[in-house]
Amino acid sequence: MKIRAAITAALTVLFAISAVFAKAVPAADAQSAVSAENPRIKELKNILFKLVRQDEYLDETIDTLDSAAGKLSLDDISALGLGLRMIKGNLDALSAMNKKQFAEVQPDPALNTYTRTILSYSRQVSQKIVKVNGFVARAALKNKKSGLRDAVTSKRGRTAAKGKTLTRILEEQKAMERLSADIKTLRASSDKLTATSKWLYIISK
């Protein structure tokens, strides 16, 4: 299985142009619909759209890790770390967008529908990050055990039983440590997003 290719495909989807949320309206009514839309709803839709994309990417990540069965190469670990760091940046940006709406949003049933959905997706993203963390923790343990086993049969610069050098084994272990650290900071960003989403929901009630 080519994990790096799967992650690359997921990243491509993450930045792809999305179809509109609602069904298409007749061309004659399109302009009037846009002009009549509440600007606050428009902003909340934008937040929700971006949040859904993070949720979809995490689904791809979970599927990839699940099918890998804990067998991650150095390239796999590096590609996964890159993707998770990008997700962290996106979640931080979403938290900032939420905070910006604190002073703009007022109690409104129409707005509350969107803020409730944003909060729901924020919590869902948090749960999926916990799941990703579990997969990574198991992969790290498996990597450590196999690394210790291979190191016994390897000397620096000479191949081990599975074709790895001791240098390569150490690189994989360090990469896994960085990935674990990436997961930790991602969880912190997710907690911040959930907190700002909750406040946004409360303000709109």
Looking at residue 129, its amino acid is I
Q: Which pLDDT does position 69 carry in this prediction?
A: 74
DSSP 25: P
Average pLDDT over all residues of the chain: 80
**125 contacts: CB under 8 Å, gap ≥ 6:** 51, 54, 55, 58, 91, 190, 193
Tens digits of residue pLDDT in 95-133:
999 999 999 999 999 999 999 999 999 999 999 999 999
Q: Report the pLDDT value the prediction gives residue 45, as an integer from 0 to 100.
A: 96
53-58 average pLDDT score: 96
**pLDDT interval class at 25 (50, 70, 90):** very low
Q: Tell me how many degrees the CA angle 51-176-170 measures, rounded to the nearest 5.
A: 160
182 closest CA partner among 136, 144, 141: 136
Whole-structure pTM value: 0.75
pLDDT at 28: 39
Q: Give pLDDT, residue 147.
A: 55
Looking at residues 77-91, what average pLDDT do you find?
95
- β-partners of residue 170 are none
- Give pLDDT, residue 68: 76
* pLDDT for the residue 42: 95
pLDDT tens for each residue of 123-182: 999 999 999 999 988 888 876 666 555 555 555 555 554 556 777 778 888 888 899 999
pLDDT, position 183 = 94
